[in-house]
Structures are given as C-alpha cells and as structure tokens.
Structure 1
Amino acid sequence: MTNNDRPTKNERRAHARDVARARADAERRRKRRNKWFLQGGIGLGIVAIAAIIAIVVVNVNNQPAVSAAGPKNMATGAIQFTGESGDVTPVTTKAVSAKGTPSAVPTSNSDGAVAVTEYVDWACPVCKQFEATYADQILDKVKSGEATLAIQPVSILDRSYQSSRYASRAANAAMCVANYAPDKFLDVQTQFFDNQPTEGTSGLTNAEIAKLVKAGGATGSNVSECLSSEQFKGWVTKSTNLVTADEALQGTQGFGTPTVVVDGKRLDDLSTVITAIDAAAK
C-alpha cells in the first residue's frame, strides 16, 4: 500500500464518526427494544398476577364456609336427649355463636331426672366398649324418665391415626348430624362405633365417613356439604380445648375418653354408671 492509498486524517475522523454514530443508533434501538419488552413483560406479569388473584378469590369464594360457630342442638356443647312417651328425643337448641361458649347449665331436664353426660371421641376404642356395654341400659333410663343423656363429641385421638385427622373429622361428622339430623345422632354414633377403624391405621376416608352417616339415616345435601367442607372444624377444636382444660373433668392422668358425669359428679369407675344413676335418682 502506498502513501496515496492510505485514508487521510480527515477521512479517518469521518470514518470514526460514522462508526460511532452507527453504534449509537444501534444502542438506541436496543434500548427501545428492551424498554418495550420490559414494559410488555411487566404488563403481562401484572395481567398474570391479576388472573391468579382472581382465580384464588373465586376459589375461596366458592369454598363452603368453615364455621367457628357451634352446631344447632348443642348449646351446652353436647346434644341432649330426654324421654318422651317411651322414646328418646333430642332437645333442640340454637347454635352457639363463633364468639360464644357453651352454657354450663343443661339445656333441658325433666323434673327429678338424673343428668348423665358423656364425653366421647368416636375414634376411641374404650368409648366403643363403654357404649356396647352400657348404652342400652342408659337409654332405657332415659325412656323411663329417670335420666336425661347428653353426649359431647370431642377429638383427642388424631395422633392415633397416622396424621389423617380421623378423630377430628369424625367429631365434625357428629356435629353435622347434630345440626342437620339430630334424631339420627344415636344411630349414626352406633355406625361409627360398630365400624371403628383400628388405631395405628389412617382411619376412615371422607367417603367412608359419609357412608356411615348415611347408613345411620342422616341424609340430604346439607349433611353432605357439612361433611365435605368440614363445616364445624373450628368448633371441634374450640369445644375440645374447653373440655380438656376443665379440671373438673380430669382424672389422675388428665382428661380421657370416655368421661362420664352423673348429676355433676365425674365417675372414677365407669362400671358404676348404672348404680350411680340409680343412687342419684333416689
């Protein structure tokens, strides 16, 4: 290359300016593209987030209500039964509000009748044994007017069923029946004890629980929805905590099920329940 072929100083400066200008233009275009993509991405992100929020809100709104209020017909925390014309009849009451607590005084009591209260966990094997041994005798005394019977479901045995919360789900079922089909409560309770799963297993599925409730005669969409949504989940926890914290219901090893109270006195020996009722009736 000769000296004549080389670009002059001015030409080199002009070339450098052209290269710089081209690079600047390219950089401006890149920034515009990035800005567009960023704005578009943010916009799409906002739309996506809004869509997710909308879906969550819709799903939450479509979920059946889980109540911290108590079921109807359990104003004392228990469902109560009295004798009427040789039959056992549930006492109807209003529900306890979410901020309320069960009343300490029995809702209804026949004149002179002995008040029997049972605290039971439908997942409790000893409760099953107690009912098999004494339920018919106690109900005979209710039918005759000698006694009234109150049954309070609690949940203290979730730990025995592989973290499936079977005891709590069974207690919710008890409250669903008390609320929507109180006249079927005793029949449903019999179904649960007769078909009680073995401790150490995962217990019964929700579908199996629903079958037992139906087999006991409690049917209808309200019952089904109450079971599937675990409508009284909050109340199961609240009422169980109140019971287990009551020192009057605790034995030497704390609270356990079944706990039976006859005219305000907790029985240390469950085998004395019938003699205790007879003694209180005198």
Structure 2
Amino acid sequence: MREEAAKKARRRKWWIQGSVGVVIIAVLAVIALVIVNSIPQGQTSAGPKNMISDGIVMTSSTKAVRTPALQAGESPTPTTQSDTSSKAYITIYEDLQCPYCQQFEQTNMSQITQWLDSGIATLELHPLNYLTSQGNGGYSLRAGNAMACVAEYFPDKFITVNTALYAKQPQENTGGLPNSKILSILKSAGVSSDNVTKCVNDTKFTSWLNAATSRATTKKLPNSNVTTFGGTPTVIVNGQQYKGSLTDASTFASFVESAVGSSSTSTSTPTPTPTATQ
C-alpha cells in the first residue's frame, strides 16, 4: 500500500510538472507570435522612382526632382535642405483618406504652389497608408499606391493628382473609391498609360508604402524636431512642426515666414518671404 501510494504521488508530480511545462511552452509560443506580428514588415521590392527619401520633392507646381528608386533593404536618403535661411522647405506626411489632410490641402495648396513657382519654397510630399487599419476598404493603401505610381511614371503631375484625389475624397469608414474611379481621376488630371493602369490595379508599391509608413510613424522624422509621430497631416517647415489651424491660410503663411526667419543668419541675403495669398 505504501509503495502504491508513493507511485501515485510520483505520477501526480510528473503530471503537474508536465502540465506546467505545457503551459509555459504555450505562453512562450503566444509571446513569440505577438512579437513576430508586431515587427513591421520590411520592404521586399523596389519603391517608386523619384521618391528616394520616401517622399517626392517638388521645386515648382509642375516640376519634381528626379531620383532613383529606393531598393529593398536600403534606407531612404533624407532630402538635403541647404538654404533654410532663405527658402521654406515644406514637408507634408499625408493620407489621402484623412479628412484633416483634405482640409489642409484645400486651404493651403494654392498658396504653397504659388510659393513654389516664385522660387521661395520647395514641397516634399509623403503619402502614407496610415488609416488602412481603420477599415476603409484599403483605400488609404490603394490611394497611396496610386500616388507612388504617379511618382514613378508622371512625377511632374504629382501635385495635380494629389489635389484631384482630395477633391474626390470618399467618406471615412467606407470602402473608398474603386481602382476604376481612381484611374478615372488620374486620367482627368493628365495621368494615363498602360503602365499606370497596371501599377494601380496591381498595387505595385504596397511593400514600399507599408515600409515607408512604418518608418514615418516609428522613427524620428528627418530634417525635423519631430520624434513621435502624432498623426496625419504632419506638416514640417524648416525643421519645425506646424501645429496651428488647418483651415486658416494666413496662420500657416505666418508660421512659414517665421520658420524661414528663425533659420536666417546675420550673413544671409534678404529674400522674399511667404505671405498669405487668395
């Protein structure tokens, strides 16, 4: 009897130890799965041409800076901002589904393009798929990809298409515009080719856009004092983040003028500074 009781005790001990081991293994497996799923997926294919910084740089309303494509495994090359004492470098991180981005664009893009064409500013636009997780039928991704397609094949039309897509922005929490409608908007803005159609329908730049969005939202933004991404739109002028009204052009113009002024040195040559335009 005593020996049998001892055997039962040993079996019970083994069972308890085994059960604990199984639980520990299961917990470790769950932790590993969470860690893997939380790691941003890397860029597995080349990005669009003319976006080596993850954004496109416009020196006028119809002229984009040409660059090679960002290859898989490479890091973006931040844009050189060499004359901040006399020029406004405006950088915008945007999501084509974001209504606040639309407000800012429709309020300010007209005066921004006038500054560009006057030679007192450059504009760098970074399309993101920041709102894809909010269930909008993937429109943030598809619209951002469409902008990457424009950068690849019709870079000088980037601002024109950007404005056209905001004018037709779908409501939040909907399926968004179908690709056929996106292509129709692009065509009305002067962007149409077999390459563009295939690029949009295949969402060619999904890998790059996902990686670019991850870089923007998890790392310090280049050429800026922004260390924590706060959402779209994020607007930066000569390293300083704009936090004013999205719907007041004069307020933004004053901020731009101040940002250029704060970059000036005693040896800089006075140049025209941006003012609000109608």
Q: TM-score, normalised by structure 2?
A: 0.70
Q: 1:105 aligns to what SS in structure 2?
A: coil
Unmatched 5+ stretches in structure 2 = 1-42, 262-278
Question: Does 2:79 match 1:101?
Answer: no
Partners of 1:135 and 1:254 in 2: CA distance:
22
Aligned to 1:278: 257
State whether residues 76 and 106 of structure 1, in contact with CA within 8 Å, keep that contact through their aligned partners in structure 2. Answer: no
Question: Does 2:234 match 1:259?
Answer: yes
- Give the direction of change, closer, same or farther, for the CA distance of 1:228–1:67 in structure 2 (3 Å limit): farther
Unmatched 5+ stretches in structure 1 = 1-65
State whether residues 84 and 260 of structure 2, in contact with CA within 8 Å, keep that contact through their aligned partners in structure 1. Answer: no
Q: 2:190 aligns to what SS in structure 1?
A: coil
Residue type matched to 2:175 in 1? S
State whether residues 67 and 231 of structure 1, in contact with CA within 8 Å, keep that contact through their aligned partners in structure 2. Answer: no
Aligned to 1:57: none
Percentage of identical aligned residues: 35
Aligned to 1:75: 52
Partners of 1:160 and 1:270 in 2: CA distance:
25
State whether residues 95 and 232 of structure 2, in contact with CA within 8 Å, keep that contact through their aligned partners in structure 1. Answer: yes
Shift of 1:273: 2.7
Question: Does 2:150 match 1:177?
Answer: yes
Shift of 1:110: 9.1
Partners of 1:107 and 1:237 in 2: CA distance:
26
- Give the direction of change, closer, same or farther, for the CA distance of 1:170–1:67 in structure 2 (3 Å limit): farther
Partners of 2:232 and 2:66 in 1: CA distance:
25
Q: 2:169 aligns with which of 191, 196, 200?
A: 196
The number of equivalent residue pairs is 213
Q: Render the CA deviation track for 1:85-114: whole Å, top value 9, x for unaligned.
A: xx6411111111111121123388799322
Residue type matched to 1:74 in 2? M
Aligned to 2:215: 242
Aligned to 2:270: none
Q: 1:233 aligns with which of 187, 202, 206?
A: 206
Deviates more, 1:205-214 or 1:230-239: 205-214
- Give the direction of change, closer, same or farther, for the CA distance of 1:75–1:108 in structure 2 (3 Å limit): farther
State whether residues 121 and 167 of structure 1, in contact with CA within 8 Å, keep that contact through their aligned partners in structure 2. Answer: yes
Partners of 2:112 and 2:259 in 1: CA distance:
13
Q: 1:238 aligns to what SS in structure 2?
A: helix
Q: Render the CA deviation track for 1:24-57: whole Å, top value 9, x for unaligned.
A: xxxxxxxxxxxxxxxxxxxxxxxxxxxxxxxxxx
Q: 1:90 aligns with which of 56, 61, 64?
A: 64
Shift of 1:135: 0.6
Partners of 1:150 and 1:108 in 2: CA distance:
14
Q: Render the CA deviation track for 1:192-226: whole Å, top value 9, x for unaligned.
A: 11111101211111111111111211111111111
State whether residues 75 and 107 of structure 1, in contact with CA within 8 Å, keep that contact through their aligned partners in structure 2. Answer: no
State whether residues 219 and 228 of structure 2, in contact with CA within 8 Å, keep that contact through their aligned partners in structure 1. Answer: no
Partners of 1:196 and 1:103 in 2: CA distance:
30
Say which structure is richer in helix. Answer: 1
State whether residues 110 and 148 of structure 1, in contact with CA within 8 Å, keep that contact through their aligned partners in structure 2. Answer: no
Partners of 1:181 and 1:154 in 2: CA distance:
19
Partners of 2:50 and 2:84 in 1: CA distance:
17
Aligned to 1:116: 90
What is the aligned-residue RMSD (CA, Å)? 2.5
Residue type matched to 1:261 in 2? I
State whether residues 102 and 166 of structure 2, in contact with CA within 8 Å, keep that contact through their aligned partners in structure 1. Answer: yes
Partners of 1:234 and 1:126 in 2: CA distance:
25
Residue type matched to 2:54 in 1? G
- Give the direction of change, closer, same or farther, for the CA distance of 1:246–1:269 in structure 2 (3 Å limit): farther
Partners of 1:109 and 1:74 in 2: CA distance:
21
Residue type matched to 1:71 in 2? P
Aligned to 1:45: none
Residue type matched to 1:266 in 2? Q
Higher RCO (C-alpha under 8 Å, 6+ residues apart): 2
- Give the direction of change, closer, same or farther, for the CA distance of 1:81–1:100 in structure 2 (3 Å limit): same
Q: Render the CA deviation track for 1:231-259: whole Å, top value 9, x for unaligned.
A: 10100100000000124579898421110
